[in-house]
Amino acid sequence: MSRTHALKAHPAPFLDVWTGRKTFEVRRDDRGYQVGDILRLQEWTPTEAHDEAVLGAGGYTGRVAIVLVTYILPGGQWGLPDDLCVMAIDVIGREFPR
């Protein structure tokens, strides 16, 4: 069964996903990602504080790229650390700030 994951994405790589230039996502595999899952990549701008309590929702720009995971290279293969995975993604939607 597919799941939806809400994830932060820094502005530069987010823009590359948004425009279709970046077709993969490298993430710590702490959620058990599967082919067919949806990633809601939420553009997030960090501040100098690097503190979740300070940032709150204020770090989010409101732009969201919705992507479908089409392939997963799990950790432990081809030199990839055990705790990371590489996911091939296709953009299936975009949300804009109100």
pLDDT in tens, 36-84: 999 999 999 887 555 555 444 458 999 999 999 999 999 999 999 999 9
Residue 41: domain span: 4-95
Q: Is the pLDDT of residue 13 over 80?
A: yes
Residue 46's alpha-carbon distances to 6, 32, 50, 56, in angstroms, are 17, 26, 6, 10
User: What is the domain count for the chain?
Assistant: 1
CATH code, domain carrying 17: 2.30.130.30
pTM for this prediction: 0.86
Residue with token string 């919705």: 66
Q: Is the pLDDT of residue 5 over 80?
A: yes
